[in-house]
Amino acid sequence: MRGLKSLTSLAAGSALVLSGLVATTSSATATTAIAQCQASFKSGHLPLVSAGKLTVASDINNGLYQPWFGANGNPSTGKGYESALAYAIAKDLGITSKNVKWTAEAFDSSFAPGSKNFDFDINEISVTTDRAQVVDFSNSYYNVQQSIVALKTNAIVKHHSATDLKNYTYGDQIGTTGLDYINNHIKPTKQVHVYNTLDEAVAALTAGQVDAIVVDTPTGQYMAAAQIVDSKNKPLATQVGQFPSTGEHYGLLFQKGNTLVGCVNTAIADLTANGTIKALQKQYLSIYTKVPALTPIQP
């Protein structure tokens, strides 16, 4: 940035020249930033819990699922969006894939306060202000949209204009962003049913106790395709559509105050700039982009 300032004073006369210079310099800064991170890893100055290695956590003990991880639930294959991204970030920081170590961290305990035995946790964790008070998050690596899941026989499948949506009974899991979306954006006229687990909400949906569940698109896709099935494994539910993103996103989770987040953000920016993240999303997450869009409801 100091270089940028001196260039600015030199070229103060011409706005045209200036803008050209800033463009060149800022892309150069991004390259420099990642180079600096690579250098600090080489010299051992990158703050890692285990020297020379990147320790990545996920909810290994409770199962890892496609498309975020590979088919066998093994995170170290580099298959699946999150696994591939973890290796891409490591590579960008100059860490070889054999120096990427995986460790188990349950979803619920990941955003509890305290010291962590991993560098970062990658586990479809939504960034919320509450969670950000006790842990740190990287910038977004996936923007979450909320979607509606309902039984194929429910009226909501055909009638889901912004006004229609108010008249259904919704069910959702306690403390989820889906429940917030219902309350803040759909604002239904009937009392929302609030369940302790998502499985209970699904049971209520199957039993016809609620018309629809609002969950993020990836979860909804799994529910409609594989979870809500009849005794012959035939899908009973469908993903009616998805709402525009409200800014909710998944972030990598760090122990509060971990300075590694700076270099990881640099890597995410670098991987966004060079198209890696877009390519990985196209490779692993394209099923989500096919879900039809729903009319936005103004908050």
Q: Which of 48, 210, 267, 268 binds other proteins (CB under 8 A)?
A: 210
Q: Is 227 among the residues that bind other proteins (CB under 8 A)?
A: no
Q: Is 259 among the residues that bind other proteins (CB under 8 A)?
A: no
Q: C-beta of 70: minimal distance to other proteins in Å?
A: 31
Q: Which of 7, 11, 18, 203 binds other proteins (CB under 8 A)?
A: 203
Q: C-beta of 152: minimal distance to other proteins in Å?
A: 14
Q: Which of 43, 115, 191, 298 binds other proteins (CB under 8 A)?
A: 191
Q: Is 171 among the residues that bind other proteins (CB under 8 A)?
A: yes
How many amino acids of this chain bind other proteins (CB under 8 A)? 24
Kindly indicate which of the ranges 4-12, 45-53, 199-207, 269-277 contains the residues binding other proteins, using the contact rule CB under 8 A: 199-207
138 φ/ψ angles, rounded to the nearest 5 degrees:
-80, 175
Nearest to 102 by CA among 115, 117, 124, 80: 117
Q: C-beta of 203: minimal distance to other proteins in Å?
A: 5
Q: Is 174 among the residues that bind other proteins (CB under 8 A)?
A: yes
What Rg do the C-alpha atoms of the chain give, in angstroms? 22
Q: Is 26 among the residues that bind other proteins (CB under 8 A)?
A: no
Q: Which amino acid is at 206?
A: T
Kindly indicate which of the ranges 12-20, 180-188, 237-245, 269-277 contains the residues binding other proteins, using the contact rule CB under 8 A: 180-188
Q: Is 229 among the residues that bind other proteins (CB under 8 A)?
A: no
Distance CA 121, CA 86 (A): 10
Q: Is 155 among the residues that bind other proteins (CB under 8 A)?
A: no
Nearest to 10 by CA among 18, 2, 20: 18
Q: Is 209 among the residues that bind other proteins (CB under 8 A)?
A: yes
Residue pointed to by tokens 């409770």: 62
98 φ/ψ angles, rounded to the nearest 5 degrees:
-75, -15
What would the x/- binding string for other proteins be over residues 51 to 80, using CB under 8 A? ------------------------------
Nearer to other proteins, 89 or 144 (CB): 144
Cβ atoms < 10 Å from Cβ of 78: 16
Kindly indicate which of the ranges 119-127, 171-179, 229-237, 246-254 contains the residues binding other proteins, using the contact rule CB under 8 A: 171-179
Distance CA 130, CA 134 (A): 8
Q: C-beta of 59: minimal distance to other proteins in Å?
A: 18
Q: Which of 208, 275, 292, 296 binds other proteins (CB under 8 A)?
A: 208
Pick out residues in 122-141 that bind other proteins (CB under 8 A): 130, 134
208 CA to centre of own chain: 30
* Binding interface with other proteins (CB under 8 A): 130, 134, 171, 174-175, 179-180, 183-184, 191-196, 200-201, 203-204, 206-210
